[in-house]
Copies of this chain bind each other. A is one copy, B any other.
């Protein structure tokens, strides 16, 4: 699909590195007061005044983190930004800037990179973050995307992974597992397509799941919501690798245990019906499926009344003494050890 056989397509080598950067970045505008100097110098210059800076970075590799067979480039650009902003949100901070570096093999025509940057530009507009720098170069194979996200936060608002206390409630935003199930649907369609390229897929029943996979959103709204509710999270992490894995990170770093209640885990009705169709266990998907980019955090039990009526927030468990261990309490009341079965980029196939 992306082979540069069509001679009407533009080779990126024709433009050269500086021409390519100029071409791809011309639509970026600056909206953050803290961006003093953006793209065009050796480095960007930022002014955070009395706020602290928060920095996170991710490296995405074609064939490892994404498959261009079902991931349109515009969506990929959008999602790559969102995944990084989510890490900033997970510090209870507000994303303000990103840098975007891209390496591509010469099978990618300029038009493909333009699509990718359309998605990046869209995400930067929607989330009001400035693209302040990056790098554009060749790869030996496939597409490589490296994004560094920067945000700001007042020191007393920062939520680390290690602040959970015994007795704290474990809270999750939105619903869980849909992004992973969306991937399963897309994988199945890819196989169908390989057998019969003329098959027109009917994806009506899977729209929510596919959207969660192809166009996830970062929960930049949660910081503001918690401020309004006057709740300070004691710890926080985003759900990128899978719920169980993230819960265990908080437990390990905070030195506490937890009881997680299966019946409390929020899932979308579409996930339930598609899990039935695929003959998969909903809870396994919710615990181990990644890429939801929801936030997982702990709050003091006394704050329960402040959040209980909010449709964005679900209490799914509570923190215990570390010696009690980490458990899932099933629907029938049995207690089973919680294991990390999240996605691992270094896994051997």
Chain A residues with CB under 8 Å of chain B are 11-13, 15-17, 20, 36-37, 40-48, 52-59, 61-65, 87-88, 90-91, 93, 97, 99, 101-103, 106, 132-142, 144, 146, 148-151, 153, 155, 158, 160-162, 236-238, 253, 344-348
Contacts and interface: CB of A to CB of B under 8 A. Distances in A.
Given A140-B141, A348-B106, A91 B42 contact: yes
A53 B45 contact: yes
A77 to B, nearest CB: 16
Contact of A62 (B62, B140, B347): B140
B57 A153 contact: no
Contacts of A155: 36, 45, 47
How many identical chains are in the complex? 2
A64 B161 contact: no
A55 B132 contact: yes
A72 to B, nearest CB: 20
Given A43-B90, A46-B53, A153-B45, A64 B140 contact: yes
Contacts of A138: 61, 64, 345-346
A94 to B, nearest CB: 12
21 contacts: A12-B346, A13-B346, A13-B347, A16-B344, A16-B347, A17-B344, A40-B161, A41-B160, A42-B91, A42-B236, A42-B238, A43-B87, A43-B151, A45-B91, A56-B133, A57-B148, A59-B101, A61-B144, A64-B138, A64-B139, A99-B148
A179 to B, nearest CB: 18
A57 B55 CA distance: 13
A312 B255 CA distance: 53
A133 B253 CA distance: 17
B56 A42 contact: yes
Contacts of A158: 37, 45
Nearest to A160: B41
Contact of A43 (B88, B132, B144, B253): B88
B137 A346 contact: yes
A138 to B, nearest CB: 5
Nearest to A134: B57
A139 B61 contact: yes
Given A16-B346, A62-B140, A144-B103, A161 B55 contact: no
A182 to B, nearest CB: 21
A63 B88 CA distance: 33
A47 B52 contact: yes
- State the 5 A-B residue pairs at the shortest beta-carbon distance, nearest first: A43-B56, A42-B90, A146-B146, A59-B101, A137-B345
Given A42-B87, A45-B153, A101 B64 contact: no
B346 A43 contact: no
Contacts of A61: 103, 137-140, 144
A20 B347 CA distance: 12
Nearest to A161: B41
